[in-house]
Amino acid sequence: MAVSAREVQELRRKSGAGVMDCKRALEECEGDIEKAAVLLRKQGMARADARVSRAATEGLVASYIHAGGKIGVLVELNCETDFVARTDEFRELARNLAMHVAAEQPHYVQQEDVPEDVIEKEKEVYRALAIKEGRPEKVLDRIVEGRLKKFYSGVCLVDQPYVRDDEKTVGELLRESRAKFGENILVRRFLRYQLGEENES
């Protein structure tokens, strides 16, 4: 099916994708701009997933100070090239993530960072609680896993609902950013300080 230059331009404005990608998507979706936009987004996410294994050694450290100087956060956000690290969009993402850490107080970047003894202690508590609630033995493991998932969403940055849009997690925001920038984007580490309290990072 032939598609017009106007349709291609409209899809480009909507998706931010290249001309040829837009043209192919429109042809595949028989000129339906909405379907083509969804297709491009899926393709972008698939490419973004492939980027996760690539080395991200560039980036920047962003800071955020809140509550009249009583809360301070440093976040190291990494990407693959200095070119991306210098863009306003990347700097804004880093600052927004620092603001998220100030507000939501995660303790770890991801589940793999949670010490095994902390996980085991949580499992013991959840199992004991489920037994006390009178739950059947055969469903205890499922209940423990469900509560552990909720625990991760409270303490792991990438599993938390994003403070500026709770329809997505920080992990999903990073995934979208990989698709947008065309590079692996990841949070390496963060520090959160609150006046009068121990470091919570």
In a domain, 199, yes or no: no
Residue 74 DSSP SS3: strand
Quote the pLDDT of residue 118: 96
In a domain, 201, yes or no: no
What is the chain's mean pLDDT, rounded? 88
**Separation of first and last alpha carbons in the chain:** 55
Same domain, 96 and 176: yes
Band of pLDDT at residue 200, cut at 50, 70 and 90? very low
User: Which CATH number covers residue 40?
Assistant: 1.10.8.10
User: Which CATH number covers residue 123?
Assistant: 1.10.286.20
In a domain, 103, yes or no: yes
Exposed, middle or buried, 153 (CB in 10 Å: 0-12/13-18/19+)? Answer: middle
Residue 138 DSSP SS3: helix
Same domain, 103 and 34: no
Position of tokens 């589940």? 111
In a domain, 141, yes or no: yes
Does residue 75 carry a pLDDT above 80? yes
Same domain, 76 and 150: no
Say how far apart CA 122 and CA 114 lie, in whole Å: 11
**Domain region containing 141:** 115-154
Band of pLDDT at residue 44, cut at 50, 70 and 90? low
Number of domains in the chain: 3
Band of pLDDT at residue 8, cut at 50, 70 and 90? confident
Are the C-beta atoms of residues 99 and 163 closer than 8 Å to each other? Answer: yes
Same domain, 24 and 100: no
* 137-162 pLDDT per residue, tens: 899 999 999 999 999 999 999 999 99
Say how far apart CA 114 and CA 107 lie, in whole Å: 9
182 backbone φψ class: left, alpha, beta (φ>0; ψ -120 to 50): left
Same domain, 180 and 98: yes
Same domain, 125 and 67: no
In a domain, 82, yes or no: yes
Residue 134 DSSP SS3: coil
* 159-183 pLDDT per residue, tens: 999 999 999 999 999 988 988 888 8
Same domain, 62 and 102: yes
Quote the pLDDT of residue 87: 96
Same domain, 89 and 68: yes
In a domain, 200, yes or no: no
User: 10 Å Cβ neighbour count for 126?
Assistant: 19
User: Which CATH number covers residue 184?
Assistant: 3.30.479.20
Same domain, 23 and 46: yes
The secondary structure of residue 168, as a DSSP letter, is E
Q: Where would I find the H helices in 29-169?
A: 33-51, 82-85, 88-104, 116-132, 140-155
Span 29-55, average pLDDT: 71
